[in-house]
Amino acid sequence: MRSKLPKVLHQVGGRPIVDLVVEACHEAGIQRLYAVVSPSQPEVGEHLAGRCEIVFQEEQKGTGHALAQVPPEVFEARDLVVVNADAPLLRGATIKQLVAAHQASGAAATLASVSDPGRDDGRIVRRPDGAFERIVEASDADGQELRQIQEVNVGLYCFRGPQLRGALQALQPDNRAGELYLTDLFKDLRPVNVVRLEDAAEAIGVNDRAQLARAEAVLRQRVLNDLMLSGVTIVDPATTYVDAGVKIGEDTVIFPFSVLRGETRIGSGCRIGPFVVITDTTFADSSDCGPFAHVRSGTEIGAEVHVGSFAEIVRSSIARRSRVPHVSYLGDATVGENVNIGAGTITANWDGQRKNQTVIEDDAFVGVDTMLRAPVKLGRGSRTGAGAVVTRDVAPGATAVGVPARVIRKKTAQLPQETR
């Protein structure tokens, strides 16, 4: 990857590659996971701690040697699934399919394959009767052999535990470096069952940034297809980017050049975009956002809220039916119901040492170009004049204008007769 970041921690669809593999295993019903990790990449073990039992491969002697580091008792009287940690497109349903086929066949081992002659992976060599014979690594196969065989090894296996342990003990080095190849296990395991997968994209492993981009494109299309089939309108899938962890409700419309990241949740009946970036934010039903808006982590948007063009919001909550129409910044703000934020409004939340809170209560009206120097509070039903610089709290029902803002009108705030 030519990167300081370990390969499996690079992201596809907004998630680390290894997380997608772990989640696929959980979806398949596998709860006890072992991750074989190099001591030279302790951050991988730290990342997986609590979700996997970490096993360190002290010496890098190949994939077979890595598998042999798993505690011997794990192999007793059970089936084991082995999967490469750099396969972000593998589905949980596929792992489940492989395990079911393995258990039904009674084979010592079952492996997955795809038909993809363009891949630089091991080839599945079959006997004249079609039965499995062996795996030939691409580096060990001659050009003619590669051209003739289009079935390639995916890197997803299911083994009978006791037989796998015996085969590991008998495994011999396959090259001058003394490496033990996992694929050489199949020389001693019989019978071997092969499950051919329909979707060749599931076999994409990530070994460089070109493959990372390819995997990203495939996963993005999967996510968008799933959303459209669930009742979301994606106006232009080619220009829409939605991370794998994003959830969107029915009848929401996503316009072009929208980027939805992280654990964002969008309710039903919303309109998002065009040209918006939303990260780790919740939008309740019937809200809209955009164009050219940036909503950052830690934000909660209530129902029927309007977030307009060139607005930026971070670590804030906005209650139902409030409006942030144009060119405003809300940081560390709590906004009540039916509040109007005038164009050009800024919450000056940073004092040079800490982030400070701004509170704007229900039914407040913030005039254009208002600056709110946090910490500050606008009471219920209060108002600010155009260009006001508010440095002190404004009482409920009061109006503040000027630089610095001063109160020119006070009245008792009353509950509205009905919700506007």
Tens-place pLDDT, residues 137-164: 776 666 666 667 889 999 999 999 999 9
The CATH number, out of the four listed (3.40.1310.30, 3.90.550.10, 1.10.10.60, 3.30.70.1560), of the domain defined by the range 7-203: 3.90.550.10
Tens-place pLDDT, residues 258-271: 999 999 999 999 99
Cα–Cα separations (whole angstroms), residue 303 to 1, 289, 294, 312: 43, 12, 18, 18
pLDDT on residue 305: 98
Query: Cα 129 to chain center, whole Å?
Result: 44
Region 128-137: mean pLDDT is 90
pLDDT on residue 409: 79
Region 314-339: mean pLDDT is 97
Tens-place pLDDT, residues 376-413: 999 999 999 999 999 999 999 999 999 999 999 776 54
What is d(CA 353, CA 90) in angstroms, rounded to the nearest whole number? Answer: 46
Query: Domain coordinates of the chain in residue numbers?
Result: 7-203, 209-409
Residue 232 pLDDT > 80: yes
Residue 182: what residue type?
Answer: L
CB 234 within 8 A of CB 240: yes
pLDDT on residue 31: 85
pLDDT on residue 136: 85
Contacts of 180 (CB under 8 A, 6+ apart): 61, 62, 63, 64, 65, 68, 171, 172, 173, 174
pTM of the model as a whole: 0.91
Reported as a pLDDT band with limits 50, 70 and 90, residue 419 is: very low
Residue 199 pLDDT > 70: yes
Region 214-239: mean pLDDT is 98
Residue 34 pLDDT > 70: yes
Return the percentage of the chain with pLDDT > 70, whole number: 94
What is d(CA 386, CA 28) in angstroms, rounded to the nearest whole number? Answer: 59
Region 196-209: mean pLDDT is 94
Residue 296: what residue type?
Answer: R
Residue 319 pLDDT > 50: yes
Element at 333 (helix H, strand E): strand 333-335
Contacts of 142 (CB under 8 A, 6+ apart): none
If one counts every other C-beta atom within 10 angstroms of the C-beta of residue 386, the result is 12
pLDDT on residue 420: 43
Give the single-character DSSP code of 74.
Answer: G
Tens-place pLDDT, residues 42-95: 999 999 999 999 999 999 999 999 999 999 999 987 899 999 999 999 999 999
**DSSP for 149-195?**
--EEEEEEEEEEHHHHHHHHHH----STT----GGGGGGT--SEEEE
Reported as a pLDDT band with limits 50, 70 and 90, residue 414 is: low
pLDDT on residue 150: 86
Burial class of residue 400 (count of CB atoms within 10 Å of its CB; 0-12, 13-18, 19+): buried
pLDDT on residue 177: 72
Region 187-204: mean pLDDT is 93
User: 3-state DSSP helix/strand/coil percent for the chain, to nearest 5?
Assistant: 25, 30, 45
- Known catalytic residues are 326
Fold for domain 209-409?
Answer: UDP N-Acetylglucosamine Acyltransferase; domain 1 (2.160.10)
Q: What is the largest CA-CA distance in the chain?
A: 94
Region 171-185: mean pLDDT is 85
Burial class of residue 93 (count of CB atoms within 10 Å of its CB; 0-12, 13-18, 19+): exposed
Region 157-182: mean pLDDT is 89
